[in-house]
Amino acid sequence: MIFASPLLAAIGPFLLWPIELFLPYPFVLEEIFKGVLVYLILGSGVRRTQEKLIILSALLFSFSESVMYIINIFLVGNTNTFLLRLLLTSAMHLSTFLIIYLTARTNRKLLPAGVLAGSLIHLLYNYLIGVIY
């Protein structure tokens, strides 16, 4: 089940999208989803394996989210817009995955604090992207 987490991360945006249509704060839902994935990955006793799974899960999550929004991206931009979104989104998702992972690795009871910190970073990212574009 631990090694299925990158697959779950890859399909996660597609699973979350219908739910996000009804909830006012989709970034919180995404970070909770990441928290669940981190919790599953922490089941692996090998720290090096955990780190690789976290990085792979973050990159797959951000790539599939960008692919999901590709139609909207090409309506307002071009291939460069897609690549810029992919780069910025990958950095944000990787950092939030790592924050959740590092806080939970220290103590699993801190997982909600990591999810909260990830949610705040995600909110700040969304705000800054909205200001830039």
Does the pLDDT value for residue 9 go beyond 90?
A: yes
pTM summary value: 0.91
Does the pLDDT value for residue 103 go beyond 80?
A: yes
Count of helices and strands (H, E) across the chain: 6, 0
Give the residue among 1, 18, 9 at the shortest CA–CA distance from 62.
9
pLDDT band at residue 72 under the 50/70/90 scheme: confident
Does the pLDDT value for residue 1 go beyond 70?
A: no
Tokens 């604090």 map to which residue?
113
Give the residue among 92, 80, 86, 83 at the shortest CA–CA distance from 117.
92
Structural contact between residues 51 and 42, judged by C-beta atoms closer than 8 angstroms: no
Tokens 């810029």 map to which residue?
84
> How many CB atoms within 10 Å of residue 88?
16
Backbone dihedral angles phi then psi of residue 108, each to the nearest 5 degrees: -60, -25
